[in-house]
Structure formats: C-alpha cells, structure tokens
Amino acid sequence: MKTHIKILLIGVGFALSVGSLAPIAPPAWCAGPIEETPVSLGDNQPQTPTDLPGKIDQIIRKSLEQRVRFSIHIIEADSGKTVYDHDARELMIPASNMKIITSAAALNYLGSDFVYKTKVGLCGDTLVVIGSGDPLLGDERKDSWYGREPGWIFKDISHALKTEGIEKIDSIIVDSTVFDNERVHPSWPAKDLNKWYACEVSGLNYNDNCVKISVKNVEGKIAIFVDPQTTFVSLINNVESISKGDGAVGTYRNRHPNTLIVFGKCRDAAGPFDVAIERPAAFFGFLLFEHLVATGINAQGQLVEKTFDEENDFNPLIEFTTSMADCLKRCNKNSLGLAAEAMLKTIAAYNNPDGKNGSWERGRELVADYLMELGIDKSQFYLDDGSGLSRQNELTAYAITTVLSSLYKSEDWPIYRDSLSMGGVDGTISGYFKEEPYKGKIRGKTGYINGVRSLSGVCSTDQGDYIFSILVNNANGQTRTVINEIAKTIIDHAAQED
C-alpha cells in the first residue's frame, strides 16, 4: 500500500511530518562526472594482422594478460552474421549499458508514440497534481531544448489558476501512486544516495529530484546557496574559509530528511553541483505552494501525498507532457539514470490492472519476458535495476547485440538510433572519435562504474553498418582507450575492404 504523507501548511510555511527516516549516506565529495583521459597504447605492438578478428585480438591481448575480462560481439547489421566473438556469451556487469536493455523494452511495451502526462486540476478548492512517472518534468536539459526558463511549470500553473479566477487554494494533493513507494533501490550504494545519478525514483519527479548547491567565500565568510530557492531543504554550514591553497566542498545527509550538511574548504567559490533530495513528490508540492504564495494566491491547509481518483469531481486545468523520444534521448545520450528507472517502473504500472504501483520487481519480470521473446536464454542475463548502477546486473555482449539487432530491423530504429550518443558530436562520447574518419560514424551507449567499462552501439561504414557490444570487467586505466580502438578498427577495416 502507498504511504500517505501529510505536510501541514501553517500560514506561509510548512511543517513536515516524517513517517520514516531515509538512508543516511556517508560523506561524499561532490565532484562532477569522472572524465576519463585516453591512454596511449604504446608503439611496441606486434605487426597488425589483416583480418578483423586478428586486429581486435591484438588490441585486447595486453589487457587479457592483465586479467581484464572482455565480452565482445560484433555482427553485420543487415545479415546478423557474426564477424567477431570473444566470450560473447559470458556474463558481465554492464554498468550503464543496462540502459540499452531498459530503454529498448520500454519502446517495445509502451511504443514510440507514448507520452508521459502530468495532470493538474481542481477538486473543489483543492489543487490536485497527478504524476505519471515522468522523469523529465522540470528537467533542465529538456527545458533548454524547448527554450523554457527554470520554474516555468509553476508559472504556468499559477497562470491557469488566475485565468479561472481562482485566488485561494485550501489544500494541495500530490498523487505519485503510478509507482510504488520504494523510491531507493536496495542494491544502490548508500554512499551514492545523495548523488544525482542515484536520486530517488517517484511517480512525481521534478528537476531530476535534485537541488544545486553553490558555495562562496565572501571576505572570509562562507555563504551557501540552493537552487531552486526553497525552504524544503535545510542546510548546515560546516565549510571552512581558507585564504590560500586548494579547496573542495561536498555534502552528506543528516539524520533528518532533506537536511544537508555542507562541508569542506572554500577559498573563492565552489559549485554549483547537484545533490539528490528525498521525497520528490513532496518536493514538487512544496515548491508549488511557495510559488503560489509568491504570486499572490492564498494557499493554505494541507499538502497531502495520496491516491486521487480522477473520476471524482476533477476539473482539469493544465497538463505537462514528455515524449518517448525525449525520454530515450536523456536515458541513452546523456545517461540519466532517473529516465531508465522511471521507464522500468512505467512498464510495470502500465501492465498492472489498475495502471498503478509500478515496481522494480514487476518491471524486471517484463523486461525478462521481452528478452526471452527475442530468443535470449535466461542464462544470458540477470536483471536488478534499470540504469546499471546496481552491480547485481549481468548481461552478455550477445544479449545486447541481439536487442540492438532487433531494434535495427524494426520501424523503431530511427527513434532509437537518434537516442544514442554520436562519436565526436554529442552525448557521453562527444569527446571521443573526433577524427574525421570516425566523427559521426559511431553511435553508442557508454557504461562506467568502478572496475567496469562498456560501449555498445552501431558503426556506420561504406561496407554497411556493424552492431557491436564491448563489455569489460576488471577494467584498468587503459580500458576506455582499448574499447575505443576496437570501435575505430571496425571502421578502419571496412574502409580497407572497400
């Protein structure tokens, strides 16, 4: 059952009643995503073979000697013929290559025309927000695509109320029950739970379920800023002012939900960096309340998170939408974990009789069914979450190329292809493959967690397209370069065959 959370509105402030404590994450320095520096493979390599398997074997030879594990599968996209296989059916931790499986299953079950719809309306004098699980509601990057300013959603809601002549709201209901109440995956590392890539997953998400923290040293005094500005989050300032040397600032959670301890040393400024909040639906409702008050609407009463039946006296005011194409793009091109997890739970919700309570468990069952329908044996995968943050996930390169091959031969290939990063152009491989023979010819999804590197996708050549998957465990500092060299070799070899 969904837990009902009440948040009392007193005057123009909130008093949050806490039903249970969220997991406490230990201190974590808030650096941005890790950028991997390419490492030269050296000049003392044996003479390059002329066949593609020989060339790739030579590339990975030194890594294999260092006990790095590879699962690699490369096929001709049109014929499906295997052109290279190295332990292609060996299970590996895939990291974010798990998103390929999740997003493909979402496209299969929901369809390319699927649209997330967040509904806002009135029930008497109560303002009701019904979440759809949309992972991109208020997403900064999506909003930039459409030229929208931060906070535009609340401005639109306020405008819709005023257009209807509404000057007073007695209470606010936020309904996030399209998903169950398990917002934190049990396999995610506790130390990562305040990071953007491990944010909570709710049926009503906003701003990637994060706030941005900035720190400034103003004449020896430390000032901390939060964006969006809200009293939903409390900050404890443990940052030390320094006049010389390098500083670094991080955050960790307090015992009380949404109380963040900011710590470290600051000489000039630090941030902004994203910090995941707790109870995303309440976060949205709180921000909405604060905006309504700021724009002159008399908002009082209670903020309640609960199921709302649209068949009640519901007067729709406004609707916010996100397309499947946008969701796939944020999931694969930018590796937004929230997009993958939300799609996994959406699959589950839409296959439940009541269309609600989408769960990781049910989502995994449906994704497994999808893989087996493609002829992939159960021995080729183990599913845990949707984004690949969990180290319990296991896939084979063969399973990934089978999924990509199925997509390639379907009418959904254009929308899926466009969701993948393009080498030297955009997404997570924009910094790689910039050279003219490769730029724009490699589309793929990267993966990275400790000891794991991966890249799967499609290489476009004059000899046709090649679908590939490269999964690496026990990875080291040279592994990303090795992976990239394999992708380049596919293109080089095809050019030589021309």
For the purposes of burial, counting CB atoms within 10 Å of the CB of 42, is it exposed (0-12), middle (13-18) or buried (19 or more)? exposed
In a domain, 47, yes or no: no
In-domain check, residue 37: no
Strand partners, 465: 460
Contact 398, 200 (CB under 8 A): no
Using CA atoms, how far apart are residues 68 and 24, in angstroms rounded to an integer?
34
How many domains does the chain fold into?
Answer: 2
pLDDT of the residue at 47: 62
pLDDT, residue 255, reads 82
CB 361 within 8 A of CB 343: no
Q: 341 and 286, same structural domain?
A: no
CATH, residue 389: 3.40.710.10
369 and 307 assigned to the same domain:
no
Point out which residues pair with 212 in neighbouring strands.
227, 274
310 and 425 belong to one structural domain: no
- Full 3-state SS string of the chain: CCCCEEEEEECCEEEECCCCCCCCCCCEECCCCCCCCCCCCCCCCCCCCCCHHHHHHHHHHHHHHCCCEEEEEEEECCCCCEEEEECCCCCECCHHHHHHHHHHHHHHHHCCCCEEEEEEEEECCEEEEECCCCCCCCCHHHHHHCCCCCCHHHHHHHHHHHHCCCCEECEEEEECCCECCCCCCCCCCHHHCCCHHHCCCCCCCCHHHEEEEEEEEECCEEEEEEECCCCCCEEEEEEEECCCCCCEEEEEECCCCCEEEEEEEECCEEEEEEEECCCHHHHHHHHHHHHHHHCCCEECCEEEECCCCCCCCCEEEEEEEEEHHHHHHHHHCCCCHHHHHHHHHHHHHHCCCCCCCECHHHHHHHHHHHHHHCCCCHHHEECCCCCCCCCCCEECHHHHHHHHHHHHCCCCHHHHHCCCEECCCCHHHCCCCCCCCCCCCEEEEEEEECCEEEEEEEEEECCEEEEEEEEEECCCCCHHHHHHHHHHHHHHHHHHHC
Contact call for residues 396 and 71 (beta carbons, < 8 A): yes
Indicate whether 104 and 136 sit together in one domain.
no
Tell me, what's the pLDDT at 28? 38
Burial class (CB in 10 A: 0-12, 13-18, 19+), 301: middle
The sign of the dihedral angle between the CA atoms of 151, 156, 157, 161 is: positive
Task: Of 107, 37, 96, give the one whose Cα is nearest residue 457.
Answer: 96
**Quick one: pLDDT at residue 489?**
97
Q: Which of 39, 51, 97 is nearest to 452 (CA)?
A: 97
Range of the domain at 24: 5-32+112-324
Residue 459 resides in a domain: yes
310 and 254, same structural domain? Answer: yes
In a shared domain, residues 304 and 402: no
Q: Are residues 67 and 180 in the same domain?
A: no
39 located within any domain: no
In a domain, 123, yes or no: yes
Residue in 429, 450, 448 with CA at minimum distance from that of residue 438:
429
The domain boundary, picked from 324, 357, 386, lies at: 324
Tokens of 258: 């949404």
Same domain? 347 vs 477: yes
Cβ pair 488, 433 in contact under 8 A: yes
- 270 pairs with which residues across the strands? 215
With respect to residue 492, please indicate whether it lies within any of the assigned structural domains.
yes
Q: What is the pLDDT of residue 6?
A: 41
Answer yes or no: do 126 and 269 share one domain: yes
Q: Which of 324, 345, 362 is the last residue in one of the domains? A: 324
The pLDDT score that the predictor gives to residue 294 is 95
Please check whether residue 310 lies inside any domain of the structure: yes
Same domain for 342 and 388? yes
Same domain for 214 and 252?
yes
Answer yes or no: is 41 within a domain: no
Single-letter residue type at 466: Y
| Single pTM value for the model | 0.89
Tokens found for residue 251? 């955050």
Distance (Å, whole) CA 454 – CA 394 = 12
Strand-strand pairing, 442-449 and 452-461: antiparallel
* Residue 286 sits in the same domain as residue 375: no
Of 276, 294, 324, at which residue does a domain stop?
Answer: 324
Nearest one of 178, 185, 88 to 130, comparing CA atoms: 178
Averaged pLDDT, groups of 10, the chain, 498 residues long: 40 36 38 40 56 96 96 98 98 98 98 98 96 98 96 97 94 98 97 96 98 96 96 95 93 89 95 96 97 94 91 92 98 98 98 96 98 97 98 98 98 98 98 96 98 98 96 97 98 86
